[in-house]
Structures are given as C-alpha cells and as structure tokens.
Amino acid sequence: MNERIDLGLREAAASTPLPEGAVIQEIGVTGMTCAHCVRSVTEEISEIAGVHGVSVDLRVGEVSRVTIASDSPLDAALVRDAVEEAGYALAADPS
C-alpha cells in the first residue's frame, strides 16, 4: 500500500511560496502501517518549534516518507526524538 495522507495541516509542497529561510526536509520512518500512525508522527513532529507543515507518504511494510517544512533547519535529535515518541523509528537511510 502506498498512500499520501495529510491531516489538514499545511502541505509542505513546493508549489506554495515558502517564508525566507524556510527548509523542507524528508526523513524515512519505519513501522508505520495506518492513518493512526500517520497522525501520531504528524502530531509529534508538528510540536517541534519552527515546524509549520508535515506531510506523510505512507508506505506500509516499507520506509514511509515524512516531509517536514520548518522555519529553519531542525535539530536532527529533536526530529528523531519526535518520531520515537510517536512509537516509530527513523530509517537508517534517510534518502
């Protein structure tokens, strides 16, 4: 299954003009299998200061792609903590 789920948050899309200095990064997350997983990860990451958009490309049984838009580059440890707080894990290969 391969499905993009956006939970009403602002889409981190290139089509939208970004604020000065804004950053979009993509991370890989393992273990996500449903919309509730998507919600948990989205909510945890959204709580990081400076984050204004989270978009999840759910790939069940594979590495899901999580796109994060933020005002400035995020501390990688904060992102990892948020993913783990939600109950999932960063993929070894973030690309």
The residue ranges that bind ligand 9UX (CB under 6 A) are 33-34, 36-37
Query: Closest CB to ligand 9UX among 55 and 64?
Result: 64
- Minimum distance between the CB of residue 64 and ligand 9UX, rounded to whole angstroms? 11
Query: Closest CB to ligand 9UX among 58 and 74?
Result: 58
Query: Closest CB to ligand 9UX among 69 and 82?
Result: 82
Alpha-carbon distances, residue 54 vs 27, 39, 75 (angstroms): 11, 10, 16
Q: Is 8 left (phi over 0), alpha (psi -120 to 50) or beta?
A: left
- Minimum distance between the CB of residue 34 and ligand 9UX, rounded to whole angstroms? 3
